[in-house]
Structure 1
Amino acid sequence: MQVFNTPQKVIITCNKRLSPYVQQEVKALGFPIKRAFSTGVELLATLNDCITLNLNLRCASQVLYALKSFTAANADELYHHIQAIAWEELLDFNGYFSVNSNVNNETITTPLFANLKVKDAIVDRIKEKKGVRPNTGPKLNKAVVHLFWKENKADLYLDTSGETLAKHGYRKHPGKAPMLEALASGVIYASEWDQKAAFVNPMCGSGTLAIEAALIATNRKPGLFRMNYAFMHILGYDEQVFFAARRKLKEQIIKNIDLKIIASDISEEAVNIAQANAKTAGVDQLITFEVCDFAKTHVPPAPGVILFNPEYGERLGTHSKLELTYGRIGDFMKNECKGYTGFVFTGNPDLAKKIGLQSHRRIEFYNGKLDCRLLAYELYDGSRRKVKIDDQSL
């Protein structure tokens, strides 16, 4: 089964509301998109193309290569269709694989049962053909098979990623309530930062936003930080294709860039964590870290982008103190950041009202399961001042 050179349907998944930014990245890589939906995109690609996609995408979660589509009313029919696939040509019979799934079928009460039926079908097929049972388990560090089963329609994929792409591999010290790397990339794309003007990130926490900004500006891709993907454990994998793609990533890095990225936090521990993460990512020399109250953050001359990701009362902080903090954020942006575009990422619309400025854009995101907004503010230098918002404007 020549999957590495055979074009098939490929689904790239992502967290909800990151799809527009995945589309942007896929198009930049030269892949036409057949279909876009709220949690991903569909295209036609080979398994070798999936190597390129895995190494380059910042906002994606998984890259799924289609093996078979079929109808199955119950688990027995599912087993029958999956056992008919030539797994001995895809998986090492001395190897290891895992199964995950997205199941909505009235005969299945738990996806774990569907996973078990998929595992049984694959193992039975390989034992029949090779006389050996491969090992299986929950870890995603080898070959991974993914089942999507809705009502009677089933699609079976090779998950070419394994561990999620949404984590970029450089953040060894997450800190408190960190923003997922894929989300941080999407937020930066949404800001429309031109990667030349200053980028200021007060309240930086573990540094994810500042680090992602530096990685995007210097064209450092996530594949530089990872050496194991699920596609490496499929029969027919040519490691030279992977190493050629990885060399291309290194050649595309923009060096000697003149860029001002400022990241500050009142916590010395947080700044130390951010610096360590930036060093792992290879961008510590591009970011100026400061230990200070956000209102003391150095703001280079305009133009620039200033981006806050303050606490919003769901996991950290207390509401009354946060009201004062949000008010101070608005005052700081209005008085100290003239000529900038200001952004506040928050999951609390009531606290957002305390900023006291009117946003000209409100971009929807999810942070985990929390419904969030990236609020954008034009911070005019001169007489054009934004009026305070009323309770109906968010």
Structure 2
Amino acid sequence: MQVFHTKSKVIITCNKRLSKYLVQEVEALGYTIVRDFPTGVELNITLTECIKLNLNLRCASQILYALRSFKINSPEELYREVVDLPWEELIDFSGYFSVTSNVDNETITTPLFANLKVKDAIVDRIKEKKGIRPNSGSDANKAVVHLYWKDDEADIFIDTSGETLAKHGYRKIPGKAPMLEALAASVVMSTTWDHKSPFVNPMCGSGTLAIEAALLATNRRPGLFRMNYGFMHIIGYNEEEFFAERRILKDQVIKNIDLQIIATDISEDAVDVSRKNAKTAGVDTLITFEVCDFADTPVPEGGKGVVVFNPEYGERLGVHTVLESTYKRIGDFMKQNCKGYTGYIFTGNPDLAKKIGLKAARKVEFYNGKLDCRMLEYELYDGSKRPDEKRPVRPTSTGA
């Protein structure tokens, strides 16, 4: 089964509300999108072409290569369809595989049962053809098979990513309540930042927003931080394809760039974590870190850049009242210290956002986990209101 050279349906998944930015990335890489939907996009490409996508995409979660689509109404029918596939030509009988699934069918009360049926079918097929039983389990660091089953329609995929792409591999120390890297990249992409003017990130936490900004500006792709993917454990994999793509990643990094990225936090531990994560990402020399109250964050004059906050949302009891004062201070800081900039606040609490005291020019919808969030944009005028033609233009590409 020559999956590396055979075109098939490929689904690239992402977290809800990130598909707009995923579309921008995929199209910028030269791929034609068959369709897009709230949690991903569909392509028609080979498994080899999935290698480039895995190494380049910032906003994606998994890249799934379809082996077969079928209609089923029971676990027994699922087993029969899966056991019919030539798994001995895909998974090394001496290797290891895992099964994941997304199931919505009345005959399945738990996805684990569907996973077990798929696993049994694969094991039985390989044992019949090769006489040896392959190992299987829950680890996603080898070959991964994914089942999508809704009502009576099902697809069986090779998960070419394995471990999720939403984690970019540089954040060895997560810090307190970190923002997922794929979300942080999308948040930066949603701003008007031109990758040249100052990027100011008070309350930086573990530094993910500032680091993703530096990675975007220098065209450093997530594939630079990772050496293991699901596609590497499929029979027919040619490692030369992977290393050729990785050389391209290294060659396209923008060096000797003049950037002003400023990240501050009142917590010395948070700033220490941020510095270490930035060093792992190779952008520590491009970010100025400082321990201070957010109101003391240095803002370059005349920079016409962006200032981005990701403050606490006040989900815990008793915290809300304290944060009302903090949000008001954030608004005062932006009005007084960030004139000429575009301000952004990422929050999951609309009531606290009202305390900022500024009218949002734009609201961008995101989810942080399952929490409904907004990215609020504020035009912080320097003197009189800027005419439309002088307002910053929102980027439409990935910054490649």
TM-score (norm 1): 0.97
Q: CA deviation at 1:45?
A: 1.0
Q: CA deviation at 1:366?
A: 0.1
Aligned to 1:358: 359
Aligned to 1:308: 309
1:189 equivalenced with 2:189 (yes/no): yes
> Do the aligned partners of residues 53 and 381 (structure 1) sit closer, same or farther apart at CA in structure 2, a change above 3 Å counting?
same
Aligned to 1:347: 348
Q: Deviations over 1:310-343 (max 9, x none)?
A: 0011259811110000000000000110000000
> Do the aligned partners of residues 7 and 315 (structure 1) sit closer, same or farther apart at CA in structure 2, a change above 3 Å counting?
farther
Aligned to 1:175: 175
Q: Deviations over 1:108-146 (max 9, x none)?
A: 111100000000000000000000000000000000000
Q: Distance in 2 between matches of 1:258 and 1:210?
A: 15
> Do the aligned partners of residues 144 and 315 (structure 1) sit closer, same or farther apart at CA in structure 2, a change above 3 Å counting?
farther
Aligned to 2:264: 264
Q: Percent identity over the alignment? A: 73
Q: Distance in 1 between matches of 2:295 and 2:230?
A: 45
Q: Deviations over 1:55-98 (max 9, x none)?
A: 00000000000000001110111100110100000000000000
Aligned to 2:110: 110
3-state DSSP of counterpart to 1:48: helix
Q: Distance in 2 between matches of 1:192 and 1:68?
A: 42
Size of the aligned set, in residue pairs, is 385
Aligned to 1:163: 163
1:198 equivalenced with 2:198 (yes/no): yes
3-state DSSP of counterpart to 1:50: helix
Q: Deviations over 1:214-243 (max 9, x none)?
A: 000000000000000010000000000000
Cα pair 1:271 1:290 within 8 Å, conserved: yes
Unaligned 5+ segments in structure 1 are: 386-394
Unaligned 5+ segments in structure 2 are: 387-400
Q: Distance in 2 between matches of 1:70 and 1:29?
A: 31
Aligned to 1:331: 332
Cα pair 1:311 1:317 within 8 Å, conserved: no
Q: CA deviation at 1:192?
A: 2.7
Q: Distance in 1 between matches of 2:365 and 2:210?
A: 20
3-state DSSP of counterpart to 1:362: strand
TM-score (norm 2): 0.95
Aligned to 2:397: none
Q: Distance in 2 between matches of 1:252 and 1:144?
A: 30
**Mean Cα displacement is larger for which, 2-11 or 315-324?**
315-324
Q: Distance in 2 between matches of 1:245 and 1:190?
A: 27
Cα pair 1:14 1:61 within 8 Å, conserved: yes
Cα pair 1:199 1:305 within 8 Å, conserved: yes
Q: Distance in 2 between matches of 1:136 and 1:230?
A: 14
Q: CA deviation at 1:384?
A: 3.5
Structure with more contact order per residue of length (Cα contacts < 8 Å, sep ≥ 6): 2
Cα pair 1:177 1:315 within 8 Å, conserved: no
Q: Distance in 2 between matches of 1:164 and 1:342?
A: 31
Aligned to 2:394: none
> Do the aligned partners of residues 20 and 316 (structure 1) sit closer, same or farther apart at CA in structure 2, a change above 3 Å counting?
farther
3-state DSSP of counterpart to 1:191: coil
Root-mean-square deviation (CA, aligned residues, Å) is: 1.0
Q: Distance in 2 between matches of 1:379 and 1:182?
A: 27
